Amino acid sequence: MSPRGRSPREGDAGMSLIELLLASSMLLVLMAVGLTSLLGVKDGAAQARTQHDLNEEGRNALNRMAREIREASVITWAVNPDGAAYNENALTALSLQADFNRDGCIAGVTSATATCPTPVLSSTTNPEQLTYCFDPQGTAANRAYLWLIPVRLTATPPDCQLSGALPILAGNVGLFKAEYRSNQYRFDDSAPFGVTTWQELDAATPPTGDGTGGDGDINTAAIRGVNSVVLHLEMAKDGHEQTYTTQVDVRNKP
């Protein structure tokens, strides 16, 4: 009998040590499962956000380049073009010129039908001669940038840090490559492939190219016949990689 004169009921008994340990273990397991699920959701959201950011950056850069190349009258210079000699670790650049403001002038040069205004609008603040430049061997701070330079090249530059250079993409770029093509299908020696490469233009007889076999340099003759560019852009961030590709036709080539 208890001090109050009655026997303790079975339901009044406390938990044994074993029961307490089992309950604690089950609680820890449930907490671990919940925490793992929460971390998985958080990690998935972070990955989705990173992927979204890459897509937005890549799309904006390609859209800008495509818009400007589409308006170009000519591709003026190419550094490290596609082909057997292409090196993804070397500086790659593409120059063009375009009459963006439709005044009949490009970089102060008067056309046969127009007189350039004064002051000339085609300056570093409103360039009509542009170069896109990517240098994977550049400085640590700039090697993942894709640059816009408000001048056209006449030779391979030492780097992309020319006067007035500004980044189209500030970081995350792993590769920039350009393929140069033509709609002069009579020079397509791999018909019916349907694509005339700059190498085929180069091998054509002058003035289109440099003769049988060509000289292997796109800038001596072949570039004059280029009227289509395929852009390849690779970007990477936090372990995520994405490749973007678009083809652009030069619409205003005379």
Is residue 14 in a domain?
no
pLDDT in tens, 84-110: 999 999 999 999 999 887 777 776 665
pLDDT in tens, 155-191: 999 999 998 899 998 888 999 999 999 999 899 987 6
Q: What is the mean pLDDT of the chain?
A: 84
pLDDT of residue 17: 75
Is residue 155 in a domain?
yes
Is residue 237 in a domain?
yes
Count: domains in the chain: 1
Helix, strand or coil, per DSSP, at residue 249: strand
Two tokens, residue 250: 């030069």
pLDDT in tens, 53-72: 788 888 888 999 999 999 99
pLDDT of residue 217: 96
Nearest-5° angle of CA 6, CA 9, CA 15? 135
pLDDT band at 254 (very low <50, low <70, confident <90, very high): confident
- Closest by CA to 241, choosing from 58, 81, 45, is 58
Is residue 4 in a domain?
no
Is residue 178 in a domain?
yes
pLDDT of residue 66: 94
DSSP state of 17: H
pLDDT band at 34 (very low <50, low <70, confident <90, very high): confident
Is residue 8 in a domain?
no
Per-residue pLDDT, averaged over 128-139, amounts to: 93
pLDDT of residue 38: 72
pLDDT of residue 56: 86
Is residue 56 in a domain?
yes
Is residue 66 in a domain?
yes
What is the residue range of 168's domain?
Answer: 49-183+227-249
